[in-house]
Amino acid sequence: MANKRDYYEVLGVQKGASEAELKKAYRKMAVKYHPDQNPGDKEAEEKFKEVNEAYEVLSNPEKRAQYDQFGHAAFEQGGMGGGGFYGGGFEGFDMGDLGDIFGSMFGFGGGGSARRNGPRRGRDINVSIQLTFEEAIFGCTKEISVPVLDECEICHGTGAKPGTHAESCSKCNGTGQERFVQQSMFGAVTSVRTCSACHGTGKIIKEPCTTCRGTGRVKKTKKYEVKIPQGIDNGQTIRLGGKGELGENGGGYGDLLVSVYVQPNRVFVRKGNDIYCDVPITFVQAALGGEITIKTIDGEQKYTIKPGTQPDTVVTLRGVGVPNLRNPKIRGNQIVTLKVKIPTSMTERQKDLLRQFYGDAPAGAANTEASAPEEEKKSFGEKVRDFFEKDK
C-alpha cells in the first residue's frame, strides 16, 4: 500500500471532478485495461484493479470525502470496517457501480435480472405410501418416516459454532453476488454471478458449527402422522405444507408430498367413485329369478334377480360406492355385472330335465342365437318356467 498512486491520477481526472466525469473516465479506463482485452497482460490486470479501486472510493461520496481528507491512510489499518474491504485487493471489490455504468451504457440490465442466491425455500419431499382398497375408501391415519434436511439444533440453523456468529461477506458486501464485465461483440457486458467467497449467502462463517459443518442443516428422520381422507384414489397426492426440507439462508420449509398407491382388490375394481364387480349367479337363478347376496364395501346386501335375467346384465346399487373426497356424504355407486354360471357337471336327472326342456331342439342350437336372437332371448325365461310347470 506504500506506493499507491493518487486515485484521481489513476482515473486521469481533476480533484474536483464531477460524478459524471468520474464515470466517464472510469468507463474509458475499465474498458482499456479489462483483462479480456489484455489477455495474459499482468500490467493491464494491475491497472484494471487500480482503476476499479480508485473508482470504488471516488464514486462513493462518503469514501471520497475521507480520501480527500486523509488520502490512502483513510482506508489503512482497518479504518474501514476492519480492513476487510481492502484486505483482498481486487478480490474485495463491490462491482456494483461498474454494473450500473455498463448496464445503462449498453442497455443491459446491469445484473438486475440475475438471481440472487439469498433465502431459498427448502425442497419438497416426495414419499409414497401403500393403502389397501378399504383404507383408501374409508380413510385412515398412517405414520410415515421421512428423511429430510432440517435445522441443526446445535447452531439453530446459523451454521456458526455456538458462541460465534456469521459475518457479512466482505467480497460481496453481503449481497451474495459479484458483478464482472465481459467483452462481447456488443461491447462490454456486465454479468452477475454468485459470490465465490460466500456462495451467495452474503455471510462468512469463520468458525463453522461442527455438527452441520456450517450448513445450518442436518439430515434427520422425521415421523409424521398422515391423515388419509376417505375417497382418496390411486395416484393422488396429499400435500403437507411446511413438512419438507428446510431451505437455505433463512428460506422456509418445503412441503411434504405423500403419493398414494392403492393395492388392487380381488373382488372390486374402482373407477372414479364407482365400484365395479362381477357376481356369479346360476343359470336357474337367471331364468327363474330369486334373491341373491351381493358383497359391497359396506357389507352384504340382498338383491332380487328378475326372472329371465340375461347373462352380463348390469345392476346398479346406488350410494354404496366411494365417498366423494370433498364431500364424503356423496357416494358413488356399485356397478354389478351378473355372471351366469353354466354348471360343468350335472347329475343324470339334471341332464334329463334339461333335455326335456329343450325338447327337439337341434344339436348346437346355441349357435342359432345369432341368427334369431330376439326370439331366443324373449322366450328363454318362459321356456324355463314352462319346463318347471310341466314338471310339477
Chain residues in the site for Zn ion (CB under 5 A): 152, 154-155, 169, 171-172, 195, 197-198, 209, 211-212
Select 34 or 217, whichever has its Cβ closest to Zn ion.
217
Q: Looking at beta carbons only, is 211 or 230 nearer to Zn ion? A: 211
Rounded to a whole number of angstroms, the minimum distance from the CB of residue 88 to Zn ion is 11
Q: What is the sign of the dihedral through the CA atoms of 289, 290, 291 and 292?
A: negative
Q: Residue 125 or 169: which CB sits closer to Zn ion?
A: 169
CB atoms within 10 A of CB 325: 15
- Shortest gap between Cβ of 42 and Zn ion (angstroms)? 26
Minimum distance of Zn ion from residue 270's CB (angstroms): 48
Cβ nearer to Zn ion, comparing 87 with 235: 87
Q: How far is the CB of 211 from Zn ion (least distance, A)?
A: 5
CA distance 164 to 81: 18
In angstroms, how far is CA 171 from the centroid of its own chain? 34
111, 103 Cβ separation under 8 angstroms: yes
Q: Would you say 173 or 334 has its CB closer to Zn ion?
A: 173
Q: Which is nearer to Zn ion, 38 or 168 (CB)?
A: 168
Residue (27 or 199) nearer to Zn ion, CB = 199
* Residue 53 burial (10 A CB sphere; 0-12, 13-18, 19+): buried
Minimum CB distance to Zn ion, residue 195 (Å): 3
Contact at 8 Å (CB) between 204 and 168? yes
Nearer to Zn ion, 154 or 269 (CB): 154
Residue 220 CB, nearest approach to Zn ion (Å): 12
Closest contact distance (angstroms) between CB of 246 and Zn ion is 12
Nearest C-alpha neighbor of 344 from the set 263, 274, 280, 255: 280
Q: From the CB of 148, what's the least distance to Zn ion, in Å? A: 15
- Enumerate the H helices of the chain as residue ranges: 7-11, 19-33, 42-58, 61-70, 84-87, 96-106, 133-138, 283-288, 348-358, 373-391
- What are the grid coordinates assigned to 23, written together? 464515470
The DSSP line for 142-202 is EEEEEEEEEE-TTTTTS-BPTT---EE-TTTTTSSEEEEEEEETTEEEEEEEE-TTTTTSS
Nearer to Zn ion, 88 or 373 (CB): 88
* Euclidean distance between CA atoms 85 and 56, whole angstroms: 11
Alpha carbon distances (Å) from 35 to 40, 50, 182, 373: 8, 13, 9, 92
- Between the two ends of the chain, the Cα-to-Cα distance in Å is 125
For residue 171, the minimal CB distance to Zn ion (Å) is 5
